[in-house]
């Protein structure tokens, strides 16, 4: 049986919850202001310029990781190379997906995703290391994933509850990076 609004309100008070009403008139009025800002409304609490900088750094990191994984996919040689190369290809595709999602969020926040190859390495948190052997490649990718994990954790902490959408995006990417690190760590143990 569905409750009426007053029953729900009384139930909320009985459970110790404070009354919560949305000021729809105020929300509607704010929505009509500064509409060229798109998804960024007047209630956005984060420092948008800092968030955009962090997202562009994360974008650069993901792009460098795509390039490194792609090279390693093509250069993987040796007795155990086939499953490792397949993992490199899978990770490259997932890193590209992360880059795309970051670029989309940058645009939603009124910024411009920086795909320029000029300075890509300097904007990236991870490094582009080619590696000579399959073991080197696995190790370098694991190091890069660990760098990404720490970077994303710090970004999540910085954004906190000021920008829940960006936080969720960063948390989802962080979870994928942790999975990548675990996959690569398994390969190191097999060697």
- Please report, in range form, the residues annotated as the binding site: 62, 98, 145, 177, 180
Contact predicate 181/145, CB 8 Å: yes
Tell me the C-alpha distance between 129 and 5, whole Å.
60
DSSP line for 121-186: HHH-SS-----SSHHHHHHHHHHHHHHHHHHHHHHHHHHTTT-HHHHHHHHHHHHHHHHHHHHHHH
Per the annotation, binding residues for Fe cation are 62, 98, 145, 177, 180
> What backbone phi and psi angles, to 5 degrees, belong to 133?
-110, 165
């Amino acid at each position: 049986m569905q409750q009426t609004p007053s029953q729900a309100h009384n139930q909320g008070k009985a459970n110790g919850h404070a009354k919560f009403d949305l000021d729809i008139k105020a929300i509607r009025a704010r929505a009509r202001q500064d509409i060229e800002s798109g998804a960024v409304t007047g209630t956005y609490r984060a420092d948008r310029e800092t968030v955009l900088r962090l997202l562009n750094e994360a974008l650069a990191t993901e792009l460098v990781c795509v390039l490194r994984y792609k090279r390693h996919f093509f250069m993987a040689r040796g007795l155990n190379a086939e499953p490792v190369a397949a993992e490199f290809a899978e990770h490259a595709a997932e890193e590209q997906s992360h880059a795309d999602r970051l670029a989309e969020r940058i645009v939603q926040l009124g910024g411009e995703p920086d795909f320029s190859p000029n300075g890509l390495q300097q904007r990236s948190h991870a490094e582009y290391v080619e590696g000579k052997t399959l073991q080197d490649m696995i190790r370098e990718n694991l190091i890069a994933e660990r760098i990404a994990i720490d970077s994303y954790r710090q970004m999540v902490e910085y954004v906190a509850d000021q920008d829940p959408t960006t936080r969720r995006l960063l948390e989802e990417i962080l979870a994928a990076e942790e999975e990548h690190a675990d996959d690569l760590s398994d390969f190191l143990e097999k060697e």
